[in-house]
Chains A and B, each alone.
Chain A
Amino acid sequence: AQTVTQSQPEMSVQEAETVTLSCTYDTSESDYYLFWYKQPPSRQMILVIRQEAYKQQNATENRFSVNFQKAAKSFSLKISDSQLGDAAMYFCAYRFYSGNTGKLIFGQGTTLQVKP
């Protein structure tokens, strides 16, 4: 069974600095999707970034980038120039590539605190 593990329950960063959130996963599939979601106190999950496993190039979205290490089954999120609005809970998630199941498997989450 596929599992997603986030080993950092809490992280903090100074405003304008860079922080990296870690995620590891386990799967026997060769093709799949990985995601980072942000959940602010309002509880609404917001997609931050997405990575297709068949792509070697790491995904980037403005200040957000990932370090995807397929062999190590590692998928970390780097937030550059951290802003107060980045404070939230961040979830790493896995989704099967084949079959349109759409089922997301989430990690336990990392709470990010941004200090002014």
Chain B
Amino acid sequence: EAGVVQSPRYKIIEKKQPVAFWCNPISGHNTLYWYRQNLGQGPELLIRYENEEAVDDSQLPKDRFSAERLKGVDSTLKIQPAELGDSAVYLCASSLGGGNEQFFGPGTRLTVL
């Protein structure tokens, strides 16, 4: 069974540029999470989806971050415009329901210059 797929693995952009990350969860997993992991820190939840509905986006900086999960499967996280402080690893995870084990993807390492 394929795991959580994320792309790209690495992204380097200039500040003020837009960037998007893509996540394909494990087949059948209705819950999807986006986490941000700063260097040397643990991940922090940005947004959680139950199917196509964002049910917890309290930590998402809504002025520049947006996310969508069309048809309740793949998800895209976007930053526009990117700032230097957005440099981090962006992890996607999925689970079969919010109360079950989360499976993580390999993450996207974003560097903003």
Report A's interface with B, CB cutoff 8 A.
Answer: 4, 42-47, 50, 91, 93, 99-104, 106-109
Contacts and interface: CB of A to CB of B under 8 A. Distances in A.
B8 to A, nearest CB: 13
A103 B45 contact: yes
Contact of A100 (B40, B42, B89, B97): B97
A45 B43 contact: yes
Q: Name the residue in B40, B43, B56, B95 with the highest tally of chain A Cβ atoms < 10 Å from its Cβ.
A: B43
A114 to B, nearest CB: 20
A102 B95 contact: yes
B107 interface: yes
B1 interface: no
B95 A42 contact: no
Interface of B: 3, 31, 33, 35, 40-45, 48, 56, 89, 91, 93, 95, 97-102, 104-107, 109
Contacts of A103: 45, 48, 56
Contact of A106 (B43, B97, B100, B109): B43
Contacts of B100: 102
B48 A101 contact: yes
A49 B98 CA distance: 18
The 3 closest A-B pairs by CB, nearest first: A106-B42, A100-B98, A102-B98
20 contacts: A43-B91, A43-B106, A43-B107, A44-B104, A44-B105, A44-B107, A50-B101, A91-B42, A100-B97, A100-B99, A101-B48, A102-B31, A102-B95, A102-B100, A103-B48, A103-B56, A104-B35, A104-B102, A106-B43, A108-B41
Contacts of A47: 101-102
B106 A44 contact: yes
Contacts of A100: 97-99
A62 B59 CA distance: 36
